Amino acid sequence: MVSAINKSDLALNGKDFFALYSREKTVAAYTLGCKVNAYDTQATLDILSGAGFLVAPFDSEADVYIINTCTVTSLSDSKSRQMLKKAKKTNPNALIVCMGCYAQTNPEKILDMGVDIVLGNKNRKDILKNIYDAAHEVRVNAVTNIDNDREFEEIEIESYGDRSRAFIKIEEGCDQFCTYCIIPFARGRVRSRKLASIVAQAEKLAKDGYKEVVLTGINLSWYGKGTGDKLEDVILALNDIDGLERIRIGSIEPGIFTEEFLSTISRAEKLCDHFHISLQSGSDTVLERMHRGYTAKQYKDEIDNIRNVYKNAGITTDIMTGFPGETEDEFSQTYEFIKEVGFSRLHVFPYSIREGTKAAKMDNQIPPKVKKERAAILTSLGQQLENDFTKKNIGIEQSVLYELIANDTVEGYTTNYIRVHAKGQNDDLYKVLTTQLTQIKNNICYGEINK
350 scored as a contact of ligand SF4 (CB under 6 A): no
Q: Does the protein bind ligand SF4 through residue 251 (CB under 6 A)?
A: no
Name the residue nearer to ligand SF4 (CB basis): 184 or 424: 184
Task: For the CB of residue 184, give the shortest distance to ligand SF4 in the complex, in Å.
Answer: 5
How many residues of this chain bind ligand SF4 (CB under 6 A)? 10
Nearest-5° Cα angle at 263, 258 to 265 = 95
Answer for which of 37, 42, 130, 219 binds ligand SF4 (CB under 6 A) is: 219
Give phi and psi for 314, each to the nearest 5.
Answer: -85, 120
For ligand SF4, the closer of residues 261 and 413 by Cβ is 261
CB of 221 to ligand SF4, least distance (A): 8
How many Cβ atoms are within 10 Å of 161's Cβ, its own excluded? 10
For residue 144, the minimal CB distance to ligand SF4 (Å) is 21
> Which of the residues 252 through 311 are near ligand SF4 (CB under 6 A)?
253
Backbone phi, then psi, for 17, in 5-degree steps? -60, -50
Nearest-approach distance from CB 349 to ligand SF4, in angstroms = 11
Instruction: Tell me the β-bridge partners of 271.
Output: 247
Q: How far is the CB of 313 from ligand SF4 (least distance, A)?
A: 22
Taking the complex as a whole, the smallest distance from the CB of residue 355 to ligand SF4 amounts, in Å, to: 15
CB closer to ligand SF4 out of 232 and 253:
253
- Which of 253, 386 has the CB closer to ligand SF4? 253
What letter does residue 262 receive in the DSSP assignment? Answer: H
d(CA 242, CA 252): 26
Q: HSE on the CB side for 283, CA within 13 Å?
A: 20
* Beta pairing partners, 404: 411
**Is the CB of 252 or the CB of 445 nearer to ligand SF4?**
252
207 binds ligand SF4 (CB under 6 A): no
The reply on whether position 319 binds ligand SF4 by CB under 6 A is no
Cβ partners under 8 Å of residue 410, min gap 6: 402, 404, 421, 422, 423, 424, 425, 428, 429, 449
Min dist CB 70 to ligand SF4, Å, is 12
Q: Do the strands 171-172 and 165-169 form a parallel or antiparallel pair, or are they unpaired?
A: unpaired
Give the integer Cα–Cα distance in Å for 422 and 405.
Answer: 10
| Residues within window 166-185 making contact with ligand SF4, judged by CB under 6 A | 174, 176-178, 181, 183-184
Contact status: 190 vs ligand SF4 (CB under 6 A): no
Question: Which amino acid type is present at position 443?
Answer: N
CA distances from 209 to 31, 50, 401, 403 (A): 24, 20, 13, 13
Strand order in the sheet with 117-120: 54-55, 26-31, 64-69, 95-100, 117-120, 140-141
For ligand SF4, give the closer residue by CB, 293 or 342.
293
The number of helices, as runs of H, and strands, as runs of E, in the chain is 14, 19
Give the shortest CB-280-to-ligand SF4 separation in angstroms: 7
Q: Which is nearer to ligand SF4, 63 or 253 (CB)?
A: 253
Residue ranges binding ligand SF4 (CB under 6 A): 174, 176-178, 181, 183-184, 218-219, 253
